[in-house]
Amino acid sequence: REAGLTTYDIVQRTAWAEILPGLSTEIMGYDGLLPGPTIRARRGERVRITHRNRLTVPTVVHLHGGHTPADSDGYPIDLVLPEIEGGAHHGGLHTDETGVITKGSRTYDYPNDQPAATLWYHDHRMDFTGPQVWRGLAGLHLITDEVEEALDLPGGDRDIPLMIMDRSFGADGSLRYPALDPELADPPGVYGDYVAGVLGDVILVNGRPWPELEVDAVRYRFRIVNASNARRYRLALDPPPPSGPSFVQIGSDGGLLDAPVGHDTIQLAAAERFDVVVDFGAYPVGTAITVTNALGVGSTDAVLRFRVVRAARETSRVPARLAEIEPLVPAPGATVREWRFSRGGAGGPAHWVINGLAFDPSRMDARPRLGEVEIWRFQTDLHHPVHVHLSPFQVRRRGNRGPGEWDRGWKDTIDLAPLETAEVAIRFDDHAGRFLLHCHNLEHEDMMMMSAFETV
C-alpha cells in the first residue's frame, strides 16, 4: 500500500437480482451488482482498480469524465478477455492490431487529479458497449475536494446519487436487448433499425423500478446520472414547490458550477450529469412528490417519487458562490475542428459516422496539442449526445445563440438536437495518447459513431 493510493478489486460477473418484484433477472455486474460498487476518492488520491473478468465476453472499463492516462482510459480494443477457459470470444471485433489485450484481468489507474465531480464507470467494448451496459456494467465514481467540503452543501445521507436507466424485461424477468452478439442476442437480430437507440419501458433508479424515497423536510443533494443507453429525460417535480425553483443546479458533468442556478426542469441526455439541490422544506410533511419525465410516454413519464416523512433541522445551505471556474479562452487563430455526426457514410445507412467516417481504432482523426485551447464545432443530423474523453469543455454557443439552459459549467457530454450546431472550447492539459470522441447514444456508438484523437 503506497501513500495516497487506494486499491480495489472488482469482479465482473453475472448475478441474479430481484429488480422487478418476485422475478429474478440475470445481470452482468461489477461485483455482480447493479449499479456496481461506488468508488470514492478525494482529489489527488490515486485509485488503482483491478477488474477481473469472470463473464463470458470481453470487456473494457472506462471512467466517464475522468482525466485518465490513455492506458487506463478504456480504449475500446484494449480488451480484457474472460478468465474462464473457452470464454474468450471476439464477436464481431473489427481489429485487434493496435489493442492491448489482457486475459482474465486488467489494472486501471485513476489519478483523480481533478475537481470534485460525479463520474461514472461503464463498459466500453468496441461494438458491444450497448448490450453490455444494458446488462448492468455501470457504476459511480465520486471525487470530492476541499472546495466542495468547505461549502456546507447537503451531505451524508442527504447526498444521494440517482443513476437513471431505462430497461426492458421479458415476462420471466430477463433483460431484453436486441443484439448482434450471439451471447447477448435476445432475440438475434439486427439493431440497425433502432434509429433512436434501444429504449426500455421500465425506469430504474439505482437499480430499482420507479422507487419511492423517504425524505426529511430539508434540502437534499441529488447527483443525477443518466446511465440510459439512449433515452433523454426532462425531469420536473409534481407538485412543484409552492415557491422557488424545483431544482437548484450546483454542478454539471465536470464538477461544481461557479454559482447555483434555479431550474423548473432538468433535461439530460445519455451520460450527462446534473448535481442539484431540492428543498423539501418547501413542502408540508406528508407530501408525495413525483419526479416526472416530460419526454416520456406511458410508463416512462415518471422516474421516481419522494415522500416527505418528517420535519427536521436544516443544517445545509447553498452558497451564492460555489467553485472557481477558469474560463477557457481560445487564442486568436486557435485550432478549430469540425465534427459532423450523421447517419450513413461509407458504411451504409445502418451505420452512424463522424465526418463521413466509421470508427477505426488505428486512425487518429485529430492531434490536439496539450495545453492549447481549441474550438470544436459539433453538427448533427438527428439527436446525438456528443461526449469527449479526457478533458471537459465549455459550451460557447448553440447555432447563433449563446449556451443553452443546461449547458453551464464543465461539460463532457452535450445533448444536440437534430440539425443543430454547437461550439465548445476545450483544452487537454495532461496525458498524451489516444482518446475518443463519440456519440453516447450507445447504439450509435456501437454502430461506429466514434472518432479517435491523439493528444500530443
Interacting residues with ligand C2O (CB under 6 A): 62, 64, 122, 124, 271, 387, 389, 436, 438, 440
Q: Return the one option of ligand C2O, Cu ion, none that residue 353 interacts with (CB less than 5 to 8 A, by type).
A: none
Site for Cu ion in 99-128 (CB under 5 A): none
- 12, interface contact from ligand C2O, Cu ion, none, CB < 5-8 Å by kind: none
Nearer to ligand C2O, 151 or 442 (CB): 442
Q: Is 270 in the site for Cu ion (CB under 5 A)?
A: no
φ, ψ of residue 21 in degrees (nearest 5):
-55, 125
Residue in this structure with the C-alpha cell 445507412, named with its chain if needed: 349
Residue 52 site contact among ligand C2O, Cu ion, none (CB < 5 to 8 Å, cut-off depends on kind): none
Q: Which is nearer to Cu ion, 246 or 380 (CB)?
A: 380
- Minimal distance, residue 345 CB to ligand C2O, in Å: 20
Q: Is residue 424 within 8 Å of 376, Cβ to Cβ?
A: yes
Of 114 and 441, which has the nearer Cβ to Cu ion?
441
Q: How far apart are CA 428 and CA 432, in angstroms?
A: 9
Instruction: Give the DSSP H or E segment for 28.
Output: strand 25-30
Nearer to Cu ion, 64 or 135 (CB): 64
The single residue listed with the C-alpha cell 482523426 is: 365
Interface with Cu ion, residue 444, by CB under 5 A: yes
How far is the CA of 226 from the CAs of 3, 89, 205, in angstroms?
Answer: 34, 30, 10
Among Cu ion, ligand C2O, none, the one that 271 touches (CB under a kind-dependent 5 to 8 A) is: ligand C2O
396: cell is 460557447
Pick 306 or 393: Cβ nearer ligand C2O: 393
Among 443, 423, 452, 367, residue whose Cα is nearest residue 195: 443
Residue appearing with cell numbers 495518447: 433
Is residue 31 a contact partner of residue 121, using CB atoms and an 8 Å limit? no
Q: Cβ closer to Cu ion: 73 or 148?
A: 73
Site for Cu ion in 366-395 (CB under 5 A): 384, 389
Query: Measured between alpha carbons, how far is 358 from 317 in angstroms, rounded to an integer?
Result: 48
Write out the binding residues for Cu ion, residues 47-76 only, by CB under 5 A.
Answer: 64
Residue 439 found at the interface with Cu ion (CB under 5 A): yes
